Amino acid sequence: MSDVRPENMERITTKALADAFIEEQIAAIKEQVGDKKVLLALSGGVDSSVVAALLIKAIGSQLTCVHVNHGLLRKGEPEMVIKVFREELGANLIYVDAVDRFLDKLAGVSDPEQKRKIIGAEFIEVFAEEAAKLEGIEFLGQGTIYPDIIESADGVKAHHNVGGLPEELNFELVEPVKLLYKDEVRVVGSALGLPDSMVYRQPFPGPGLGVRCTGAITRDRLEALREADAIVREEIAKMDKTPWQYFCVIPDVQSTGIKDGKRYMGWPVIIRAIDTVDAVTAEAVELSWKQLTTMRDRIIETVPGVNRVLWDFSDKPVATIEWE
Ligand code: XMP
């Protein structure tokens, strides 16, 4: 499959169009893979979950899913992936705890593109190791989607799941949704019978909390981010219409505060909630004062190291959705 979406390709907006796409892809996957085995990076996000469901439908037990905990996942995420895919969907799932490996490699690295490259390279290492433990893996499944390809080509950012694998690994990529926009991936996911709670999950970037713990990642700031993120997600998910994406960022900045009558240098937590159709442009979502103050109070009371809460209500462009 080429990396360029044909101009006449119809936008997948209905179940019928999704079903046709699924049939097409099942045939294409069967033809590409034959009786060989595929290793899939299953982050638990919408894209890789939909690819997992497509691959299970196309090649069943020839698929092995690998969930890598790189230390940059959201609170409770590894547990949720294991529950849904291993226990409920019966997938062949390998869980790899690679937290120390990733965080040690990232220590002291502040350049965003360098961080993405390290995370991407380490992922490849982990997969190579897992593949080496299994017999006959020749393919790597990936949840690349079209905006990843466009933005990498534009030089906006190097998405870790675009750019190819080192040739010596001898993995061929299986990327069945790489020409789709996010909204189309969701329609396909629903047509595949995935639950709404998975299909309408907000997207989460491959480099995870790594791009939201800006600059050089430290374990204490990362932990604070994970806790604050859980609070922000919990509060914003209470909205009648939840935003397309909502999260927080802790930049590598400290400011002066006061605690117990003493100077208290702390990080700011920056709340971000946006709506978009295709992630190419985005609008900030209006949050109420009540929501903002509830999040502020919960964060300040429970997250160590934080002394301020801010709200980023910038649109894309000119800001991107993520901070890095
Ligand atoms: P930006 O920040 O470019 O984000 O406006 C657009 C959408 O892409 C997600 N994103 C990523 N996803 N790897 C990914 O898999 C990445 O490196 C990456 N960077 C951004 C972002 O969360 C948003 O949904």
CATH number at residue 155: 3.40.50.620
Please check whether residues 46 and 165 belong to one and the same domain: yes
Question: How does residue 162 score in pLDDT terms, banded at 50, 70 and 90?
Answer: very low
**Placement of tokens 């044909």 in the chain:** 6
- Going from the Cα of 204 to the center of ligand 1, the distance in angstroms, rounded, reads 7
Q: What is the CA radius of gyration of the chain?
A: 20
Q: Residue 44 Cα, ligand 1 centroid: separation in angstroms?
A: 15
What is the predicted pLDDT for the residue at 286? 98
- One domain for residues 178 and 238: no
Is the beta carbon of 212 within 6 A of some atom in ligand 1? Answer: no
**Is residue 223 included in any domain, yes or no?**
yes
245 lines ligand 1 (CB under 6 A): yes
Ligand 1 within 6 A of CB of 320: yes
Reported confidence tier of residue 55, pLDDT bands at 50, 70, 90: very high
Q: Please indicate, yes or no, whether residues 43 and 164 belong to a single structural domain of this protein.
A: yes
pTM of the model: 0.81
Question: What does 223-255 look like in DSSP terms, one character per residue?
Answer: HHHHHHHHHHHHHHTTSSS--SEEEEEB-S--B
Residues 199-226: pLDDT tens digits? Answer: 888 888 889 999 999 999 999 999 999 9
Ligand 1 touching residue 305 (CB < 6 A): no
Same domain for 189 and 143, yes or no, is: yes
Residue 318 lies in a domain: no
pLDDT category at 2 given cuts 50, 70, 90 is confident
Say if residue 51 is in the same domain as residue 132. yes
User: Does 26 or 163 have the greater pLDDT score?
Assistant: 26
Decide which of 156, 173, 199 is a domain's last residue. 199
**Is residue 10 assigned to a domain?**
no
Q: How many CB atoms lie within 10 A of CB 73?
A: 21
Please write the tens of the pLDDT for every residue from 240-286. Answer: 999 999 999 999 999 999 999 999 999 999 999 999 988 999 999 99
Does 123 share its domain with 35? Answer: yes
Instruction: Work out how many domains the chain is built from and give that number.
Output: 2
Pocket test residue of 117, 118, 159, 202 for ligand 1, highest count of atoms within 8 A of CB: 159
Q: How confident is the model at residue 197 (pLDDT cuts 50, 70, 90)?
A: confident
Same-domain pairing of 182 and 71: yes
pLDDT at 156 over 70: no
What is the pLDDT confidence band of residue 168, given thresholds at 50, 70 and 90? low
* Judgement on whether residues 28 and 131 belong to the same structural domain of the protein: yes
Last residue of a domain, one of 199, 227, 256: 199
Domain contains 228: yes
Residues 52 and 146 in one domain: yes
Instruction: Answer with the one of 166, 199, 232 that is the final residue of a domain.
Output: 199
Domain membership of residue 3 (yes or no) is no
Which residue is closest in CA terms to ligand 1's atom 20? 205
* Residue 74, domain extent: 15-199
Q: Is the pLDDT of residue 188 over 80?
A: yes
Give every CB contact of residue 225 below 8 A, 6+ residues apart in sequence.
Answer: 209, 212, 213, 248, 249, 250, 269
